[in-house]
């Protein structure tokens, strides 16, 4: 049995994914970044750790076979299928502060991923101290030889999917990125779909 939810452009979404269930994220229109955090559903102090995950994978990019590790170095979710091939772990979530710094003070009032994470996380008792470095599914952030990061046109296309299997009961927070000042969403944020599928019997 599957349950699909279409997350509108710029909106947030959350769900508890039970151990063995799968979450499929579909980039409905292409070139849409999906900011993502994951916590142990029963103890949210155990949450996604970018350093643990990057160190264990030996890569700053995620794809099929990548295991999202917690701050206790335990598995939270595993990427079981990926039609894009490379996803970002270092670009972070846009915020009013970073928008102002990068793009000018006139962007201060623009909605940002940190706003989404705070509003959606509050529904589950989470606050600003619970926000950690996030994953950006579909976002293309190459690292240049001098160590600088770029945010460039995405590698995705309409309908491309990735699927994650929950290795324990997890709480997933998503911000369907509202950024309009760089190419991560093609300057035009669009809807994505979240599909939760029951564990294989």
Quickly count: other Cβ atoms within 10 Å of residue 130's Cβ. Answer: 18
Q: Which residues of the chain have pLDDT under 50?
A: none
Helix (H, G, I), strand (E, B) or coil at 97: helix
pLDDT number for residue 99? 55
- How many of the other CB atoms lie within 10 Å of CB of 71? 15
pTM of the model: 0.91
pLDDT at residue 121, as a whole number: 97
Q: Quick: pLDDT tens for 181-198.
A: 666 677 788 999 999 999
Q: What is the pLDDT of residue 35?
A: 95
pLDDT recorded at residue 98: 66
pLDDT tens, position by position, 14-31: 999 999 999 999 999 998
């Amino acid at each position: 049995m599957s349950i699909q939810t279409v997350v509108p452009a710029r909106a947030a979404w959350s769900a508890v994914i039970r151990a063995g269930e799968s979450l499929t994220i579909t980039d409905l229109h292409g070139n849409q970044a999906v900011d993502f955090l994951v916590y142990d559903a029963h103890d949210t102090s155990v949450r996604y750790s970018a350093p643990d995950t990057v160190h264990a994978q030996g890569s700053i990019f995620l794809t099929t076979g990548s295991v999202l590790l917690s701050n206790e170095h335990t598995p939270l979710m595993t990427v079981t299928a990926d039609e894009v091939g490379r996803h970002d772990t270092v670009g972070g979530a846009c915020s009013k502060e970073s928008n102002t710094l990068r793009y000018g003070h006139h962007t201060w009032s623009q909605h940002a991923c940190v706003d989404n994470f705070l509003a959606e996380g509050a529904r589950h008792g989470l606050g600003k101290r619970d926000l950690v470095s996030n994953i950006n599914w579909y976002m293309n952030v190459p690292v240049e030889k001098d160590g600088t990061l770029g945010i460039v046109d995405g590698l995705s296309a309409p309908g491309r999917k990735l699927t994650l299997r929950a290795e324990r009961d997890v709480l997933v927070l998503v911000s369907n990125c509202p950024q309009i000042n760089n190419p991560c969403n093609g300057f035009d944020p669009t809807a994505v779909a979240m599909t939760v599928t029951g564990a294989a019997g």
